Structure 1
Amino acid sequence: MSLIRYQSPLFDDLSMSKRDRLLIHFILMLMSVMCSVNSTIAIAEPLAITLAAEDSWPPFADEVGRGISHNIIRHAFELVDVDVSTIVVPYARGLIMTERGSVDGVFNVTREQSTIDRFVFGNEPLFTVTASFFFAKEYPSLANDKWQLPAKSSIGIVNGYEYGDEFLVLVEKLKLQVITVNSQRQLINLLLVGRIDSAIMYDLVADVYIKQMGVSNDIKAKFNNHTSEIFVAFSKLNPQSKHLSQLLDKGLLTLQKQGKYNQLLLPSNE
């Protein structure tokens, strides 16, 4: 019997079929790689977020969407490929919109116990500000610090603002009458006519309004209420909030390393 084997047409057909399968497998692998590349490109596209911006806190944020806070936030997020849009609203409304998830975040928020419970914060503040007790020249006070205020004094504040963790303790201890209004301008007017004994206002913001109203000789800060680190507060309903706060931290630190941060703190950088 001969040991020589002859190729048959069937063997050729099977070989072609195998090559076809290899070709199909290669095409599928190529398509998978292309899909992966497209997915990577999509992920690399800048994030787009919307923040609520307060409308009456110059020089940090004004009614037309300008100010120090806008500049710092925009530049910091640009460094980490995040596009920011802002909606200018009253501060209290911005807080509510963020809590409801209507926007991704709100500025300018003090990180204290009352806000930590409601929002997500990063580690790096936008800046630090001080708030003081202001008095009218016509209605002076003998107190030299907030704990010396007369019991049952009337104190004006702005709706929705944070005044430090000690404020509620102060109100309770001295039985203060807290009068809430919607703006610093209203507080100044109430001081001028003697409707309130004192008002707590953030110093740089109060300076803007006092100058605009021409009452620099009539309204003065006397002693400190608190010092606040000011942040962007992100919505707890947004699963990306922690990531966004970390990106903002990174952007802020980069601005500082580049030497641009202090320049952005100047009101002239509108």
Structure 2
Amino acid sequence: MKNMKYHFIARSAIIALPLQDCSIKDYMSSTYQKNVLFDCILLPKYSGLSIHYLFLILMTIVSFLSIHNTVAQPLSITLAAEDSWPPFADEFGRGISHNIIRHAFEQVDVNISTIVVPYARGLIMTERGSVDGVFNVTREQSTIDRFVFGNEPLFTITASFFFAKDYPTVAKNKWQLPTQSTIGIINGYEYGDEFTTLVEKRKLQVITVDSQRQLTNLLLVGRIDSAIMYDLVADVYIKRMGVNNDIQAKFNNHTSKIFVAFSKLNPQSKHLSELLDKGLIALKKQGKYQQLLLPLND
């Protein structure tokens, strides 16, 4: 068997490899059997080529096959989703925000799962690193200090001061609110960087509750003078409760750009925010983004 060379077949590749004085048994030892799956065919030997050269070629083949046989696993993340902010996010894990986020991450091969929780709890879970992120968060100074944000908002939404229709008010904007007015807000929500200043200047009394429905009921029974609610969200609850003729928006509080906020404890957060930006931009270029803003689109 000396003075012969072996013709190794690796998968579909046929590679002529020269050997010096050796036997098939030497090269089909346990080491080679474990690391390289080759069939041997004997052919005449080339002269002047060393065993070391053969070894390098074999290792190159093994490395090549190993790289090309590795299947890239898609990135998977978990986000906290608010349970009471229709049409953007509801208690069933549905809504505009879910649709936009899911489709945007699909563009960049990221799988997401969601945990539906009250908004304030989602913020805490994200801060603690229990989840990778939370939506729907306004990017303002108070949240920038706590979370990682991308550059592309999910959407932009306005919030207004709502009053009972029979409530007497001559204010034409928030800075004209009567001093010591009682204002209802939702626990954990952001109301713009001006809100703290407004409360201080107008000496407002702030009452915090957990849901839009509670705010609406407090307005109806006169327990508060006004409530700040996001317009599209308020429209859903006012319609559901059948009080369209009893409550109305009078003037704007602020306009918010809504984002996914990522945990500062996750070293991948900057990368995740960039991937989401990329996915959102892709949706807009494809013309799909506007369709996903529709409440019934899935």
Q: CA deviation at 1:67?
A: 0.4
Give distance in 2, aligned partners of 1:175 and 1:207: 28
Q: CA deviation at 1:141?
A: 1.7
**What is aligned with 1:167?**
195
**What is aligned with 1:193?**
221
Gaps of 5+ in 2: 1-19, 23-48
Residues 73-123 of structure 1: CA deviation (Å, up to 9, x unaligned): 111111111111111000000001111111111000000000001111111
Give distance in 1, aligned partners of 2:62 and 2:122: 46
Structure-to-structure mapping, 1:244-259, within 5 angstroms: 244-259=272-287
Match of 2:140 among 83, 96, 112: 112
Residues 166-225 of structure 1: CA deviation (Å, up to 9, x unaligned): 000000111111100001100000011111110000000000000000101111100000
**What is aligned with 2:51?**
20
Greater displacement, 29-38 / 116-125 = 29-38
**More helix by percentage:** 1
Q: CA deviation at 1:247?
A: 0.9
Give distance in 2, aligned partners of 1:256 and 1:106: 22
May I ask how many residue pairs the two structures share in their alignment?
A: 254
Structure-to-structure mapping, 1:1-270, within 5 angstroms: 16=21, 19-38=50-69, 41-42=71-72, 45-270=73-298
The DSSP-based 3-state class of the residue aligned with 2:50 is helix
Q: CA deviation at 1:22?
A: 2.7
Give distance in 1, aligned partners of 2:107 and 2:242: 40
Gaps of 5+ in 1: 1-14
Q: CA deviation at 1:38?
A: 4.5
Counterpart of 2:287, as a letter, is G
Give distance in 2, aligned partners of 1:27 and 1:101: 45
Q: CA deviation at 1:268?
A: 1.7
The DSSP-based 3-state class of the residue aligned with 1:16 is coil
Q: CA deviation at 1:246?
A: 0.8
Residues 203-260 of structure 1: CA deviation (Å, up to 9, x unaligned): 0000000000010111110000000000011111111111111111111111111111
Give distance in 1, aligned partners of 2:266 and 2:66: 28
Give distance in 2, aligned partners of 1:261 and 1:21: 58
Counterpart of 1:58, as a letter, is P
Q: After the TM superposition, which parts of structure 1 deviate over 4 Å for at least 4 consecutive aligned residues?
A: none
Counterpart of 1:26, as a letter, is I
Give distance in 2, aligned partners of 1:264 and 1:105: 21
Counterpart of 2:107, as a letter, is L
Give distance in 1, aligned partners of 2:65 and 2:131: 35
Give the TM-score normalised by the residue count of structure 1: 0.90
Give distance in 1, aligned partners of 2:259 and 2:21: 67
Give the TM-score normalised by the residue count of structure 2: 0.82
Give distance in 2, aligned partners of 1:80 and 1:28: 34
Same amino acid, percent of matched pairs: 78
